[in-house]
Amino acid sequence: MLTFSKDNVQGVAAIHEKFTNLSFTEQLIHQIDQTDIDVQPCADDGIMILVTGKLQVRSYTTSGDSLSKC
Q: In the chain, what are the domain boundaries?
A: 2-69
> Quick one: pLDDT at residue 70?
45
- At residue 20, what are phi and psi to the nearest 5 degrees? -75, -20
C-alpha distance from residue 58 to each of 16, 19, 54 (Å) = 21, 16, 13
Determine the Cα–Cα distance for residues 60 and 47; give it in Å rounded to an integer.
Answer: 33
In angstroms, the CA 15 to CA 64 distance is 17
- Averaged pLDDT in 10-residue chunks for the chain of 70 residues: 84 85 74 82 90 72 49
Q: What pLDDT is attached to residue 40? A: 93
Residues 14, 62, 36, 65: what is their CA dihedral angle, to the nearest 10 degrees?
-40
**What pLDDT does 53 receive?**
77
